[in-house]
Structure 1
Amino acid sequence: MIENRFIIELKSCEKLLPVHPSQLLTYLKLTGLKTGLLINFNTALLKNGIRRLVS
């Protein structure tokens, strides 16, 4: 959690599975926050591994 504004979930996996965004959405609902970032470091370009989720 960053400054009680959003959540960052860090991963290093070959491929993001459908469970990963669902997990982040659950964290957002439990905390009452609106925005989260799902970052997968196992990509050739980091910008391809970033997903923004809004609940």
Structure 2
Amino acid sequence: MLRWALIFFIVAIVAAIFGFGGIAEDAASIAKILFFIFLVLFILSFITGMLRK
């Protein structure tokens, strides 16, 4: 999931450099959403792992 967030972030940067504002904005918002989903899942996994030990 983090990989997809990075891919969309890079697409957003490249689109912004070439002047595609709408595409850059959409790709950046998708990257943000995927990053926060990854972060929540990582924290839940970390807490679950700590509770099992």
TM-score, normalised relative to structure 2: 0.34
Instruction: Judging by fraction of residues, say which structure has more strand.
Output: 1
Instruction: Judging by fraction of residues, say which structure has more helix.
Output: 2
